[in-house]
Amino acid sequence: GAVVSQHPSRVICKSGTSVKIECRSLDFQATTMFWYRQFPKQSLMLMATSNEGSKATYEQGVEKDKFLINHASLTLSTLTVTSAHPEDSSFYICSAPGLAGALGGEQYFGPGTRLTVT
C-alpha cells in the first residue's frame, strides 16, 4: 500500500529555535497533505492542510506564523515550528490521501515526529 514517511522521527531542540519536519509520500503523488498534532493520551488534532503550489490552510486557533507549511513538490510537505517553546512539544503526524482526486477518501498516515522542546 501507499507509504508516507516523516523525518526526523524524534527531535529535541532548545526553546527559541526552529525545527523542520518533513513528510514524504514515497510511492505516490499528493497534491494535498495534512498535518496533525497529538498530545499524550489524546486524539489527533488537524492543524492545517498543505497544498502543493499554493498556501496552506490552517484550522481555527492554529498560528500560521508559528507553524510554517511548505508543499515544495508533489511528494514533499514540510512543517517548520518557529521559535519553539516547551508547550509546542508534541507528536506531529502528517497524512496524504491514498487516491488522487478521491474526496473524503482514505488517508495514509506517516509514523509521526516526536518533538521535545527543552
Partner 1 sequence: AQSVSQHNHHVILSEAASLELGCNYSYGGTVNLFWYVQYPGQHLQLLLKYFSGDPLVKGIKGFEAEFIKSKFSFNLRKPSVQWSDTAEYFCAVANTGNQFYFGTGTSLTVIP
Contacts with partner 1 by CB under 8 A lie at 32, 34, 36, 41-46, 49, 93, 95, 97, 103-107, 109-112
The residue type found at 94 is: C
Which one, 18 or 99, has the nearer CB to partner 1?
99
Q: Which is nearer to partner 1, 9 or 18 (CB)?
A: 9
Tell me whether residue 5 is exposed, middle or buried, using C-beta atoms within 10 angstroms of its C-beta: 0 to 12, 13 to 18, 19 or more.
middle
Q: How far is the CB of 97 from partner 1 (least distance, A)?
A: 5
Q: Minimum CB separation from partner 1 for residue 86, in Å?
A: 23
CA distances to 36, 55, 96, 100, 108 from 105, rounded to whole Å, are 17, 22, 10, 9, 10
C-alpha 39/C-alpha 82 separation (Å) is 19
Q: How far is the CB of 62 from partner 1 (least distance, A)?
A: 13
Nearer to partner 1, 37 or 81 (CB): 37
**Closest distance of CB 22 from partner 1, Å:** 15
Closer CB to partner 1, residue 16 or residue 105? 105
Q: Are 81 and 67 in contact (CB under 8 A)?
A: yes
